[in-house]
Amino acid sequence: MIDFNRLIEKHLERESRPKQIGRYYPSEIGTCLRKIWYSYKHPMETKAELTKIFELGNILHEFVVDVLKSEKNKEVELLEEELPFQKSYPGFIVSGRIDDLILLKENNTKILVEVKSTKSVLPIGEAQDSHKTQLQLYMHATGVHKGIVLYVDKNNLQSKAFEIEYSKEEGEKIIERFKQLHTALTSDLLPTAEAKKFENKQWLCRFCDYAEKCEKNEA
Ligand code: SF4
């Protein structure tokens, strides 16, 4: 029998390159600073299961692009998709990709859209902090001050969209956070176990590959 799981895994196999200190990612900065620090100092191979989940996210994003481009949806125009994002700060670069930039024709408003796939949209009552952070940074850096986090259910394509209010102060705080990360990495200082400290972030620890190191404060 053909092992289709293996075929998919081989198709998705990529050469993994360790992350470089000095290049940081908007999609990560809203999570636990200590976890990000470990991912630079003690890189791990991305598990095959996770690679498949990422690919599913890409596939869903392609679907959203088709929806936004559709002739039947004349109220919106897709201006950009997978827009490369790169900003330089003293000593480091922040690099990523903005999912979509759309134009809402009724009031000629540009909106950034960050698409996230999810197991179910039903329990989602608001956008996740790290997703808000990512979008807030994009809004701050691009000058497009309208943004939406769009969740799409992997099981049934139901969606939920959350408008995120731009805040200059929040944008500046996020850049400070990148600076904090850069200083901790270049000076070899382990950041505090951030996710453990905040109730709304503790769930991150359940999925953290570095939980053991973190428990021992291992640097
Ligand atoms: S276990 Fe929790 S606090 Fe520690 S690095 Fe992981 S996410 Fe951060």
CATH number at residue 174: 3.90.320.10
Q: Which residues have a Cβ under 8 Å from the Cβ of 135 and sit 6 or more positions away?
A: 112, 114, 127, 147, 148, 149, 164
* C-beta of residue 134 within 8 angstroms of C-beta of residue 95: no
How is residue 91 written in tokens? 């000593």
Q: Whose CA is nearest to atom 7 of ligand 1?
A: 205
* C-beta of residue 28 within 8 angstroms of C-beta of residue 36: yes
Task: Name the band, by pLDDT with cuts 50, 70 and 90, for residue 73.
Answer: very high
Q: In this structure, which amino acid lies at residue 216?
A: K
Indicate whether 43 belongs to any domain. Answer: no
Indicate whether 7 belongs to any domain. Answer: no
Indicate whether 29 belongs to any domain. Answer: no
User: What is the percentage of the chain residues whose pLDDT exceeds 90?
Assistant: 89
Per-residue pLDDT, averaged over 103-132, amounts to 97
**How many domains, the chain?**
1
Per-residue pLDDT, averaged over 211-219, amounts to 94
Q: Whose CA is nearest to atom 5 of ligand 1?
A: 35
Ligand 1 centroid to Cα of residue 205, in Å, is 5
Ligand 1 centroid to Cα of residue 100, in Å, is 31
Domain that holds residue 144: 48-188
What mean pLDDT value characterizes the chain?
A: 95
Per-residue pLDDT, averaged over 13-33, amounts to 92
Indicate whether 41 belongs to any domain. Answer: no
Q: What span, in angstroms and rounded, lies between the C-alpha atoms of 35 and 41?
A: 10
The pLDDT value given to residue 15? 75
Task: Name the band, by pLDDT with cuts 50, 70 and 90, for residue 133.
Answer: very high
Ligand 1 centroid to Cα of residue 138, in Å, is 25
Indicate whether 207 belongs to any domain. Answer: no
The pLDDT value given to residue 178? 98
Task: Name the band, by pLDDT with cuts 50, 70 and 90, for residue 14.
Answer: confident
* C-beta of residue 101 within 8 angstroms of C-beta of residue 144: yes
Ligand 1 centroid to Cα of residue 182, in Å, is 18
pLDDT over 80 (residue 146): yes
Indicate whether 2 belongs to any domain. Answer: no
Per-residue pLDDT, averaged over 92-98, amounts to 97
Task: Name the band, by pLDDT with cuts 50, 70 and 90, for residue 106.
Answer: very high
Indicate whether 109 belongs to any domain. Answer: yes
Indicate whether 111 belongs to any domain. Answer: yes
Q: Whose CA is nearest to atom 2 of ligand 1?
A: 205
Ligand 1 centroid to Cα of residue 176, in Å, is 20
Q: What span, in angstroms and rounded, lies between the C-alpha atoms of 123 and 166?
A: 25
The pLDDT value given to residue 200? 85
Pocket perturbation via mutation, ligand 1, pick of 35, 44, 203 by most ligand atoms within 8 A of CB: 35
* Residue list, ligand 1 pocket, CB within 6 Å: 32, 34-35, 193-196, 204-205, 208, 210-211, 214
CA of 202, closest atom in ligand 1: 2
The pLDDT value given to residue 16? 75
Q: What span, in angstroms and rounded, lies between the C-alpha atoms of 149 and 120?
A: 15
Ligand 1 centroid to Cα of residue 115, in Å, is 25
Per-residue pLDDT, averaged over 120-147, amounts to 97
